[in-house]
Amino acid sequence: DTGVSQNPRHKITKRGQNVTFRCDPISEHNRLYWYRQTLGQGPEFLTYFQNEAQLEKSRLLSDRFSAERPKGSFSTLEIQRTEQGDSAMYLCASSLAGLGPREQYFGPGTRLTVT
Amino acid sequence: DAKTTQPPSMDCAEGRAANLPCNHSTISGNEYVYWYRQIHSQGPQYIIHGLKNNETNEMASLIITEDRKSSTLILPHATLRDTAVYYCIVRPDLGAGGTSYGKLTFGQGTILTVHP
């Protein structure tokens, strides 16, 4: 399968702990996006990378959140000192670079539960 | 990005066409209409997009009104596996300049339930 993959698929952690999620985009895709989705809501944009450069961050991305894409391939999203409000599905998507309409391909998501 | 309005839920009988409406009255000239769907516990899946003309692919058809203020996604022969939340999204062309990097702004979507 050459789609977007995310690991782990599920993560249960205690409040105050740090967690890290990984996203492997489709190999030729330069653009990578992170979104967060809470129950009953549509996904909300968190941050965007073009190759290794983080070009946009949402105000939702507090100081406790950090994302990297060190070699322009896979990306990690770390949440420090987790809070119960961080419980959500974290989705990664990738797309080709360039002008014109570019559809995004989403991974299956990582479901985080903070107890 | 322009805002979209969709009905919260719709029902459809299996085998019949499902017609999902979307209003985007503030759409601007360089904004595309995209449709995604999300089956329970999965990531969103791209369906189709269009600018002015009607579009068709193997999954669905997209009908955009001449004034571009509304559109309809058509699933011609709905199956039980089409039960999902359907999102209509308006997004600028990535070549439009400014700081548009192609992020998607999802609303609440339409919950489509296909019945046997």
Task: From A48, A27, A43, A13, select the one nearest A108 (Cα to Cα).
Answer: A43
CB atoms within 10 A of CB A43: 26
Percent of chain B with pLDDT over 70: 91
**What pLDDT was estimated at residue B100?**
57
Q: How far apart are CA B66 and CA B52, in angstroms?
A: 7
β-bridge partners, A82: none
Average pLDDT over residues A28-48: 94
Whether the Cβ atoms of residue B53 and residue B62 lie closer than 8 Å to each other: no
Mean pLDDT of chain B, nearest integer: 91
| Cβ contact, residue pair B95, A33, below 8 Å | no
pLDDT interval class at A38 (50, 70, 90): very high
Q: How far apart are CA B100 and CA B102, in angstroms?
A: 6
Whether the per-residue pLDDT at B94 is higher than 70: the answer is no
**Chain B residues touching chain A at CB-CB below 8 Å:** 32, 34, 42-46, 49, 51, 85, 87, 91, 93-95, 99, 101-109
Any CB–CB contact under 8 A between A55 and chain B? yes
**What pLDDT was estimated at residue B98?**
47
| Long-range contacts of A61-68, Cβ-Cβ distance < 8 Å, separation of 24 or more | A67/A34
β-bridge partners, A25: none
Collapsed DSSP state (helix, strand, coil) of residue A82: coil
**What pLDDT was estimated at residue B102?**
78
Q: How far apart are CA B80 and CA B112, in angstroms?
A: 10
Task: From A76, A56, A57, select the one nearest A67 (Cα to Cα).
Answer: A76
pLDDT interval class at B29 (50, 70, 90): confident
> What pLDDT digit, counting tens, does each position of A52-103 carry?
999 889 988 889 999 999 988 999 999 999 999 999 999 999 998 776 677 8
